[in-house]
Amino acid sequence: MTACPVIAHIWDYGWLAADDVEVPGGSSDGDVLEHYLASPAFHTSFLPSDKNETGIHGPFLADRIAASDFVPFQQVSMEGYLKALLYSPEWETPATPEQFAEVLAEPQKPFAQGMRCFLLRFDESYSDLHHDWGFVLTVFREFLFLGQRPGLIRRFVIGYD
């Protein structure tokens, strides 16, 4: 089961998914991130599945990710980060301008609401953290936005499978 609905398609099998995750509030961003890691929303492949996904997060073994692996990410870095990903020379056909515009616009919205962004520092290149079929996600990037209200996380995931 996909935990995060697709809101934009990228390339041929790529996607941007987004949802809101409710967790108990905390006295710090670190507390909220810890609650996220303990929540059922964290334990998903982000792909349609009827498998038990309690031990995984995207392509990774869930227990290999700590709250400290979500690092602060600034709005000024977003466009360059996404351009490097979506227009990477490894793609035979890069994202279209329309796809790029949508993928850039959506994760900018929480910044406008004063939310703080955290990027999962691991991406698909960390194969030593993969579960046995994690290799199917050849792109995996996750952004979490905190701060609009206690316990609310706005989550964006870019994937390619």
In a domain, 1, yes or no: no
Q: What's the confidence (pLDDT) of residue 52?
A: 73
Query: What distance, in Å, lies between the first and last C-alpha atoms of the chain?
Result: 15
Task: Burial-class residue 43 by CB neighbours within 10 Å (0-12, 13-18, 19+).
Answer: middle
**What total of structural domains would you count in the chain?**
1
Report residue 89's pLDDT band, with 50, 70 and 90 as the boundaries. confident
- Average pLDDT rounded to a whole number, residues 82-87: 90
Q: Are 160 and 14 in contact (CB under 8 A)?
A: yes
Question: Is residue 85's pLDDT more than 60?
Answer: yes
Residue 95 has pLDDT above 90, yes or no: no
Give the model's pLDDT for residue 1: 41
Closest by Cα among 72, 103, 111 to 86: 103
Residue 76, domain member (yes or no): yes
Q: How far does Cα 54 stand from its chain's mean position?
A: 17
DSSP 8-state class, residue 49: -
Q: Which residues contact 127 (CB under 8 A, 6 or more apart)?
A: 134, 135
pTM: 0.93
pLDDT of residue 2 exceeding 70: no
- Please check whether residue 96 lies inside any domain of the structure: yes
* pLDDT tens profile 108-154: 999 999 999 999 999 888 888 888 888 888 899 999 999 888 899 99
pLDDT tens, residue by residue, 32-53: 999 999 999 999 888 877 777 7
Q: What is the mean pLDDT of the chain?
A: 90
Which tokens hold the place of 145? 């936005």
Domain membership of residue 121 (yes or no) is yes
User: For residue 29, what pLDDT is reported?
Assistant: 94
Q: Is residue 57 part of a domain?
A: yes
Q: Reduced to 3 states, what is the DSSP secondary structure of residue 85? A: helix
CATH code, domain carrying 25: 3.40.1000
Instruction: Specify if 110 maps to a domain.
Output: yes
Residue 106 belongs to domain spanning: 6-160
